[in-house]
Amino acid sequence: MSDDTFPTVRHVTSRRIVAVRGESLEVRDDRVVGEAPLEIRAAGPRQEPVAVAVTMRTPGFEAELAAGFLWTEGLLDGQEVLGTVPGNPAGLSQPDDTIVVRLSRPFDDSKVAERHFVATASCGICGKASIDEVALRAAPLPDGPVVARSVVLALPDLLRAAQRAFDETGGLHAAGLFSPTGELLALREDVGRHNALDKLVGSQVLAGAMPLHDRILMVSGRVSFEIVQKAAVAGIPIVCAVSAPSDLAIETAERLGVTLVGFLRGDGFNVYARDARIDLRDLSGLG
């Protein structure tokens, strides 16, 4: 796993609470997850920044979230991310609530008008395009890798062991990027599952590691259409989750060529789409 420094301010805060446990009452401080809006803007050379979206997120890794969002939403269109610039401290009380992604070519603001981006921490980007439209943005995925069943079964514990902020608050989603042998390469957390994935993808965009064809995505919650489409656009061929996928997530995985694993708990899991990437030859009844 990369030695990233987790954010130390605003992502977790302290609040005074009244805790009731059975017949006892205690007034104490409690650690809670932070949530704040982030305005994502984009600009090419000598271009005024274009407002792209506002998303509710857990503060921290703003550059990765912005870069990952632009990538997974298909808004880069070949532009190279040159860097990011936070908001102006002189004019904003929280300058890290605004970020500008600097691109190698001018940003086409007509794409923003066409997509009508509205984001929240709970549902992600609403009013998504059709699966066919997403397929146009997602390059074909490779046939592999083929992953051992033992590797798949180990992913939830590896993810949970690395969730530092969750241990403090119990209130964050996590997205982890793994190698085909089960090595945890990167992990990001956020109050929104789509933001956690965008931060994770953004870390790889900024590292020049795209596309993610030889990687496994493990998420801590359920799998929605949005998680599958973002993974596919990032080039991730295998998506695993501890909870259930939606029917649209399954349909999208089949259409885009993504292996989709759900209810990954204990010694079992369900493969909902493209099971050829999971090595199950040791199990009875399979040739």
Active centre residues (catalytic): 123
Would you tell me how many other CB atoms lie within 10 Å of the CB of residue 221? 15
Residue 106 to residue 238: CA distance in whole angstroms: 33
Q: Residue for token digits 């699966």?
A: 131
Gap between the Cα atoms of 96 and 36, Å rounded: 10
Please count the residues of the chain. Answer: 287
Cβ 258 vs Cβ 274: under 8 Å: yes
DSSP state at residue 273: E
CB 257 within 8 A of CB 237: yes
Q: How far apart are CA 194 and CA 224, in angstroms?
A: 9
Rounded to whole angstroms, the Cα distance separating 49 from 107 reads 9
Helix ranges (H only) for 99-146 are: 110-115, 131-137
Of 40, 102, 66, 12, nearest to 198 (Cα)? 66
Contact between 156 and 265 (Cβ < 8 Å): yes
